[in-house]
Chains A and B, each alone.
Chain A
Amino acid sequence: MNNTLIQFSQVSHRYPGGAGDVLSDVNFELEAGEMAFLTGASGAGKSTLLRLIALLARAHRGQVVVAGTNLAHVKSAKVAAYRRQVGMIFQNFNLLYDRSVFDNVALPLVIRGHAHLDIARKVRAALDTVGLLHRERSMPLTLSGGEQQRVGIARAVVTKPMLLLADEPTGNLDPEMAWDVMKLFERFNDVGVSVLVATHAIDLVERLGKRVIHLEAGRVTDKRPVAASRVSLAEAH
Chain B
Amino acid sequence: MARATDQAEAKPGFLTRLTQDHARVFFFSLGKLVNAPGNALFTAAVIGIALALPASLQLAVNNFQRLSYSWQGSVQMSLFLKGTVDEARGRDLATELSKYGSVKSTQYLSREQSAAEFREFSGFGEALDLLDANPLPAVIVVTPLPGRNAAQMAELSGMLSALPEVELAQLDQHWLERLDAILRILQRVGLLVGALLSVAVLVIVGNTLRLDVEARREEIEVMKLIGAPDSFVRRPFLYGGCWLGLLGGWFALLLLTLGLFVIDRPAQELAALYGSSFRISGPTTSTVLGIVAGGVVLGWLGAWWTVAKHLSAIQPR
Contacts and interface: CB of A to CB of B under 8 A. Distances in A.
Interface stretch (B223-231, B250-258, B265-273): B223-231
A23 to B, nearest CB: 17
A111 B12 contact: no
A222 B221 CA distance: 36
B162 interface: no
Contact of B226 (A97, A108, A118, A160): A108
B316 A56 contact: yes
Contacts of B225: 54, 56, 83, 88, 90, 94
Contacts of A56: 225, 316-317
Interface size class of A (residues with CB under 8 A): 35 or more
Contacts of B159: none
B174 interface: no
Interface residues of B, number: 30
Given A110-B24, A113-B21, A162 B232 contact: no
Interface in A131-190: 155, 159-162
A67 interface: yes
A116 B6 contact: no
Contacts of A97: 218
Contact of B227 (A111, A118, A162): A111
A113 B223 contact: no
Interface string B146-160: 000000000000000
Contact of B21 (A1, A85, A90, A110): A110
A81 B1 contact: no
Contacts of B289: none
B226 A155 contact: yes
B309 interface: no
A111 B229 contact: yes
Interface of A: 1, 54, 56, 67, 77, 80-86, 88, 90, 94-98, 107-108, 110-116, 118, 155, 159-162, 191-192
Closest 7 CB pairs of A and B: A113-B17, A83-B227, A84-B227, A160-B5, A80-B229, A67-B1, A111-B228
Given A113-B20, A159-B6, 17 more contacts: A56-B316, A80-B227, A81-B227, A83-B226, A83-B227, A88-B226, A96-B219, A107-B226, A107-B228, A108-B226, A110-B24, A112-B11, A113-B12, A114-B11, A115-B12, A115-B16, A162-B2
